[in-house]
Amino acid sequence: MRYYIWLVLFLASSMALAQSYQTGSVVSWEIRPYSQSAHIVRDHVVYSVRVGEVGYQIARRSHKVEMTAGQKIDCRVEKSQIFVRGVKGKETKYEIVGAH
Domain residues of the chain, as ranges? Answer: 22-99
User: With contact defined as beta carbons under 8 Å apart, do 19 and 11 qualify?
Assistant: no
Q: Is 35 or 70 the better-scoring residue by pLDDT?
A: 70
Q: Is 84 or 40 the better-scoring residue by pLDDT?
A: 84
User: With contact defined as beta carbons under 8 Å apart, do 71 and 50 qualify?
Assistant: no
Sign of CA dihedral 91, 94, 95, 100: negative
pLDDT at 33: 83
Least confident of 15-19, 29-33, 48-52, 81-85: 15-19
User: With contact defined as beta carbons under 8 Å apart, do 58 and 95 qualify?
Assistant: yes
Q: Strands (DSSP E) along the chain, which ranges?
A: 22-37, 40-51, 54-59, 72-78, 81-85, 91-99
> pTM of the predicted model, to two decimals?
0.75
